[in-house]
Amino acid sequence: MSLLARCALLATLAVASAPLAAQPARSDVLVLTTGGTIASRATGPMTDGASLVRGIPELAKVATVRVEELMRVPSSQVTPADWLRMARRINAEFAATPSLRGIVVTHGTDTMEETAFFLNLTVRDPRPVVMVGSMRGGDEVSPDGPANILNGVRVAVTAAAKGQGVLVVLNEDISAARDVWKTDNRRVDTFQSPERGYVGAADPDTVVFFRRALQPHTTAAEFDLANIDALPSVEIVTDYAGFDSTLMAAAIARRPRGIVLTSFAGGRLSAGARGALRLAAASGIPVVVASRVPGGRIVGNPNAALQALVASDLPPHKARILLMLALTRTSDRAALQTVFDRY
Ligand code: ASP
């Protein structure tokens, strides 16, 4: 953020002093809190959800906010069962509250990409779901969490955010869940969409959108959690120089429903990993090859002769989520590839 923009935002924050209404009967925005650095301090336990939002009185100028704490964990501990819980809670809240404008989810940044992409494919409502986190804890100098929550709520009440799928808002940037990557271990501008760019910006004066994500999401996605107790298990195996296929054998021995194989650029694989694909083909377990390189697609399917599927430009951790969801509908290889071509 430029110095000028930062000053303008601080000026906005300084004049807003209305207290946050306590648990109003009718809410414009629901904030679901889950933990992460945004709830963390260097000393002491994580901040509870209500306190996290109570510390931002400026929110009252933007929306009536209700807070619900779903969990309080570092996002490295978030599991597929938690994704299911979050999606169910969001869908239930949208169904029960027609007046709700949108939902903001506070979350650790380490696995925000995963949770955002899962929700992007399983929330069944066009109203905005906005994920926010922070790179600095609440007691660090210049914490980014409060401004990110405020901006997340601003985006959630913006009409143009409806129908954009799940969004990630940090550092005033708005990213689409499918395209966003965490790119920096420490800096506040960590979330980028290297290939496709941001979808918009939460600028100090207004929220603007530049583009729309074209792949299906939310109401256009075909995945239904209603009859699912647990997601199908999918392992990730990573190729490397001198790959030893016993790792694939170990993965197959766990009898997952699917495997993602992380490849070099362009879907290229070591001799060991090509051997691993033969093992997987013999076991009948579908394998999706996803590139470890952020930019560009895997062109065509270079491993089709080894019965592998291809993830185009999805990174391995997102390919795993799509494979999990696709396997709730089909185990047929051609049908699974159609899902990857579509999403
Ligand atoms: N450890 C944190 C997490 O929960 C990192 C963060 O939130 O930025 O993901």
pLDDT at 18: 37
Extended beta strands in the chain, E state:
29-35, 65-73, 102-106, 129-132, 166-170, 173-176, 181-182, 191-192, 200-202, 207-209, 234-238, 258-263, 287-291, 309-310
Q: State the CATH class of domain 234-342.
A: alpha beta
pLDDT at 299 over 70: yes
Options 12, 33, 34, 37, the catalytic residue: 37
CATH superfamily, domain 27-220, is L-asparaginase, N-terminal domain (3.40.50.1170)
pLDDT at 227: 86
Q: Please indicate whether residue 128, judged by its CB atom, sits closer than 6 Å to ligand 1.
A: no
Q: Please indicate whether residue 337, judged by its CB atom, sits closer than 6 Å to ligand 1.
A: no
More confident residue, 214 or 82: 82
Q: What's the gap in Å between 136 CA and the centre of ligand 1?
A: 9
Q: Please indicate whether residue 133, judged by its CB atom, sits closer than 6 Å to ligand 1.
A: yes
The domain locations on the chain are 27-220, 234-342
Amino acid in position 36: G
Q: What's the gap in Å between 63 CA and the centre of ligand 1?
A: 26
Q: What's the gap in Å between 74 CA and the centre of ligand 1?
A: 6
- Tell which atom from ligand 1 comes closest to the C-alpha of 133: 7
In a 13 Å sphere around the CA of 135, the CA atoms on its Cβ side amount to: 14
Q: Please indicate whether residue 110, judged by its CB atom, sits closer than 6 Å to ligand 1.
A: yes
Q: Please indicate whether residue 138, judged by its CB atom, sits closer than 6 Å to ligand 1.
A: no
- pLDDT tens string 2-31: 444 443 444 333 333 334 444 444 569 999
Q: Please indicate whether residue 135, judged by its CB atom, sits closer than 6 Å to ligand 1.
A: yes
Q: How far apart are CA 87 and CA 115, in angstroms?
A: 9
pLDDT at 211: 94
Closest alpha carbon to 200 in 190, 216, 213: 213
pLDDT at 27: 65
- pLDDT tens string 162-185: 999 999 999 999 999 999 999 999
In sequence order, what are the beta bridge partners of 37? none
Tell me the two tokens of residue 248.
């694939």
- Tell which atom from ligand 1 comes closest to the C-alpha of 110: 9
pLDDT at 1: 47
- pLDDT tens string 91-132: 999 999 999 999 999 999 999 999 999 999 999 999 999 999
Q: How far apart are CA 70 and CA 305, in angstroms?
A: 45
- Tell which atom from ligand 1 comes closest to the C-alpha of 38: 7
Q: How far apart are CA 294 and CA 148, in angstroms?
A: 25
pLDDT above 90 coverage of the chain, percent: 90
- Average pLDDT value for the chain: 93
- pLDDT tens string 328-340: 999 999 999 999 9
CA angle 301, 304, 306 (to 5 degrees): 140
Locate tokens 């089709």: which residue?
304
Q: What's the gap in Å between 172 CA and the centre of ligand 1?
A: 18
Q: How far apart are CA 196 and CA 183, in angstroms?
A: 14
Q: What's the gap in Å between 36 CA and the centre of ligand 1?
A: 4
Residue 332 Cα to chain centre, angstroms: 27
> If you take atom 7 of ligand 1, which residue's CA is the nearest one?
108
pLDDT at 26: 52
Q: How far apart are CA 138 and CA 294, in angstroms?
A: 31
In sequence order, what are the beta bridge partners of 26? none
Closest alpha carbon to 173 in 195, 142, 147: 147
Q: Please indicate whether residue 36, judged by its CB atom, sits closer than 6 Å to ligand 1.
A: yes
Local confidence band at 278 (pLDDT 50, 70, 90 cut-offs): very high
Using CB atoms within 10 Å of the CB of residue 16, give its burial: 0 to 12 exposed, 13 to 18 middle, 19+ buried. middle
Q: How far apart are CA 158 and CA 86, in angstroms?
A: 22
pLDDT at 39 over 50: yes
| The model's pTM | 0.92
Q: What's the gap in Å between 133 CA and the centre of ligand 1?
A: 8
- pLDDT tens string 138-167: 999 999 999 999 999 999 999 999 999 999
Q: Do domains 27-220 and 234-342 have the same CATH topology?
A: yes
Q: Please indicate whether residue 204, judged by its CB atom, sits closer than 6 Å to ligand 1.
A: no
Give the count of beta carbons closer than 10 Å to the beta carbon of residue 161.
Answer: 26
Q: How far apart are CA 258 and CA 329, in angstroms?
A: 13
Locate tokens 């993965």: which residue?
251
Ligand 1 pocket: which of 33, 38, 40 to mutate (most atoms <8 Å of CB)? 40
- Tell which atom from ligand 1 comes closest to the C-alpha of 37: 7
Local confidence band at 209 (pLDDT 50, 70, 90 cut-offs): very high
> If you take atom 1 of ligand 1, which residue's CA is the nearest one?
74
Inter-axis angle of helices 112-122 and 316-327, nearest 10: 30
pLDDT at 277 over 70: yes
The whole-number average pLDDT for the span 257-274 is 98
Q: Please indicate whether residue 108, judged by its CB atom, sits closer than 6 Å to ligand 1.
A: yes
43 noted as active-site residue: no
Q: Please indicate whether residue 75, judged by its CB atom, sits closer than 6 Å to ligand 1.
A: yes
Q: 3-state class of 301 per DSSP?
A: coil
Q: How far apart are CA 97 and CA 44, in angstroms?
A: 35
Q: How far apart are CA 175 and CA 43, in angstroms?
A: 31
